[in-house]
Amino acid sequence: MASRMTIRMPPCDGYGAGARARETLAGWIMAERFQFDIHASDGLARSGLIRMRRGEIRTPAFMPVGTAATVKAMKPESVRATGADIILGNTYHLMLRPGAERVAKLGGLHRFMNWQRPILTDSGGYQVMSLSDLRKITEEGVTFASHLDGSRHLLSPERSTEIQRLLGSDIVMAFDECPKLDQPREEIERSMEMSMRWAKRSREAFDAGGEHATAAALFGIQQGALDEQLRMQSAQALTEIGFDGYAIGGLAVGEGQEAMFATLDFASGQLPETAPRYLMGVGKPDDLVGAVERGVDMFDCVLPTRSGRNGQAFTWSGPLNLKNARHAEDTVPLDERCPCPACADYSRAYLHHLVKSGEILGGMLLTEHNLTFYQALMQAMRDAIGEGQFASFSADFRRDYLKS
């Protein structure tokens, strides 16, 4: 049954003293900087709207990844034209080049890259954790060597938050550690508990951020790998601290779709119902549909842009590899349902030629198509939820998409 719920404050009742204390903040400030409305629900799936000072974000939402202050092969106005309401910037890469202080000096990330709508910045934790041979983890933070020039850096909850403030992020992510899934449970538990201590320090650093703290939002990140009990402990710690939204971290790291969905079956419901839930780093189109079925509201992934640059296109009938010779004389568009320039103006044969020839235009057109497809998928899910038809939509989508 469809329902409507309007949330103007972070969840308080039943979510701990830290969250209740923030209820004393002026309501008009909270509503102006961050407001989450759930417009409709269908099963666990929900559609809604996040309101922020730089614009509205329709949920479920997919955020194109702009790692180094650019969504690769796309101009900002073209990204917006695909239907994107928000993009993601990468703290680790921007701190190394061109540097957060330089971006701040140049007017902030929005002005620097000419994107005036909301930007979510990750904490840098995932990228640092992937540098297993170049970093050392302590309670203070992570000391690591730059992959660019070997220079040494310390990334802590305080420094990560400071970098995101210098960038001018609209949604700031708490600093966390993402452990490998194959580690012993004791190590995953140790890592999760440290991430929760880092989450509290991130909260304190964000709240001390002056004007930025009155304009931006802060999301915490649930950890615990595939373990239901550890995920619950993490969720309880985060809600005690109190955040504007909650991310599900530590998935899409090689566990496979079945294990990811099994974890989402309990992890999503452990997080406050009244706040946005963000599944980090996901994913394939069928991943998105399955996660929305399980109550997730926000996503990011490099897949549509990276795949586009490598000759793969996503369509309603499944993914296509434009490198395949079967497309060499195919005069039909990539997807007759898609309004993007690649589909409106060019044939599969021409796109095959561009990809095989290594022409830059091929990557540009396929990237724009993939981002357009992802945003169309999100809109289709929002519509289906609003109409109370999400179960039939998801069944039809899987039938058509997975048949290839």
Question: What is d(CA 235, CA 11) in angstroms, rounded to the nearest whole number?
Answer: 13
Rounded distance, CA 317 to CA 397, Å? 9
244 as an active site residue: the answer is no
Sequence-ordered list of residues with C-beta below 8 angstroms from that of 354, at least 6 positions apart, any chain: 361, 362, 365
Q: How far apart are CA 385 and CA 46, in angstroms?
A: 6
Taking Cα atoms as reference points, which of 99, 34, 13, 96 lies closest to residue 273? 13
| Cβ burial 149-176 (10 Å sphere, 16+ → b, else e) | eeeebebbbbbbbbbbbbbbbbbbbbbb
Q: Where do we find the tokens 């040494």?
A: 152
Active-site residue identified among 85, 176, 244, 300: 300
Q: CB within 8 A of 236, min separation 6: which ones?
A: none
The DSSP code for 282 is B
Beta bridge partners of 318: 315
The one catalytic residue in 122, 176, 297, 335 is 122
Distance of CA 20 to the CA centre of its chain: 27
Amino acid at 289: V
d(CA 200, CA 238): 8
Reported residue count of the chain is 404
Rg (CA), the chain: 21
User: Any catalytic annotation for residue 42?
Assistant: no
Return the closest-CA partner of residue 129 out of 194, 178, 191: 178
Show the beta-strand stretches assigned E in 224-334: 245-248, 277-279, 298-301, 312-315, 318-321
Q: Whose CA is closest to 235, among 266, 213, 262, 191?
A: 266
**Active-site residue numbers?**
122, 300
